[in-house]
Homo-oligomer: A and B are copies of this chain.
């Protein structure tokens, strides 16, 4: 076993008979170093297998070239695709990605926030925990000029950077789709209303009803904590037990929609004939379940990439956080809205178009 001490710029400097500063600048393509010197340094660095010590560099420059990612659960279809996109885009730009999950709990979220801050991430990409209503923990980053970009589950604040979709419109479209299929009594299974995305989906749903002169009936507008399979089942049974059950359901996620389909099938209710159903997210299960589930397609991977690009541009304009004293650090705002569209499948297709 070799004792393989890593080679440093000092080793290179000594071997070339120049100073470490020169080596450093040569490697960083600094303007004040001669062509031939640069070439020589790089060649030797290459041949000796020099690898910069990122700790030393980070210590000096106080930046890590790392993007922190904070999400609820990694093992959810939408989130894992989001992260996949983030990782790819970030790595292409020479950044590392360090992840952590909040398990949808605000407390864990705050802890992880602190940990990510401690590890001096260059920037942060966040999809909020379901519980979160207090955004103050994020000020830690704002105060230090560290870019924060929210994705999907974004706070209801104006002066922040966010990458998301138009939930109102998507929900509106989904609902109008059901209406177009002839539904006149449409239920809605939503998520916690303090989370903007769910409130907006609900609002879009209601707007669509109103526009089409359909009465808004609160007895068929239900709210779930987590929209899990179990909760979906509970909600589905609730509305199907009603004296006048709905003839359509718009679910704020696919999981609950799947439960609804199961429930309906168990009861012998015809889908979409007697009950049309549409979900949200376009998870893989949509194509698997029977009947295939209509849904709102969500550009997960692209959202991840877009978030990274957003982070990069923020990093460019508001450089080192050491300079963050005078200029409002991430004072600007962005509101990147990605496109969604209704994916019509058998669960809601009555017209057979």
By a beta-carbon cutoff of 8 Å, the part of chain A in contact with chain B is 1-4, 51-56, 58-59, 62, 64, 66, 73-77, 79-81, 83-84, 87-88, 91, 96-101, 112, 115, 117-120, 143-145, 258, 284-285, 288-290, 300-301, 324-329
Additional A-B contacts beyond A55-B58, A55-B120, A97-B100 (19; CB < 8 A): A1-B143, A2-B143, A51-B117, A52-B118, A53-B120, A54-B118, A55-B56, A59-B59, A73-B84, A74-B74, A74-B83, A75-B300, A75-B301, A79-B80, A87-B101, A98-B99, A258-B288, A285-B285, A289-B289
B80 touches A143 (CB 8 A): no
A76 touches B87 (CB 8 A): no
Residues in B whose Cβ lies below 8 Å from that of A119: 54, 96
List the number of copies, as a whole number.
2
| Chain B nearest Cβ from A182, distance in angstroms | 26
Residues in B whose Cβ lies below 8 Å from that of A79: 80
Could you tell me the distance between the alpha carbons of A99 and B76 in the complex, rounded to whole angstroms?
16
Could you tell me the distance between the alpha carbons of A288 and B284 in the complex, rounded to whole angstroms?
11
Q: List 19 A-B contacts (CB under 8 A).
A: A1-B328, A3-B324, A4-B144, A51-B118, A53-B59, A54-B118, A54-B119, A55-B55, A55-B56, A74-B74, A74-B87, A75-B77, A75-B80, A96-B98, A96-B100, A97-B100, A99-B99, A285-B288, A290-B290
Among B1, B84, B120, B329, the residue within 8 A (CB) of A324 is B1
Residues in B whose Cβ lies below 8 Å from that of A99: 83, 87, 97-99
Specify the chain B residue showing the minimal Cβ separation from A293.
Answer: B288
Residues in B whose Cβ lies below 8 Å from that of A120: 53-55
Could you tell me the distance between the alpha carbons of A123 and B300 in the complex, rounded to whole angstroms?
30
